[in-house]
Amino acid sequence: MQFNFGTMETVYIKTPLGITTIIGDENGIAVISVSNEGEISKEIPEILQNAVSQLTDYFEGKRTSFDFKLNPKGTDFQQKVWKELLEIPYGKTLSYMDLSKKLGDIKAIRAVASANGKNPLWIVVPCHRVIGTDGSLTGYAGGLWRKKWLLEHENPTTQQSLF
Q: Catalytic residue numbers?
A: 127
**Among 22, 14, 19, 117, which residue's Cα sits nearest to residue 5?**
22
User: Which residues make beta-bridge pairs with 23?
Assistant: 10, 31
Taking the alpha carbons of 60, 140, 35, 26 in that order, is the dihedral positive or negative?
A: negative
- Strand, helix or coil for residue 70: strand
Q: Note whether 35 and 122 are within 8 A (CB).
A: no
Amino acid at 119: N
**Among 56, 3, 6, which residue's Cα sits nearest to residue 26?**
6
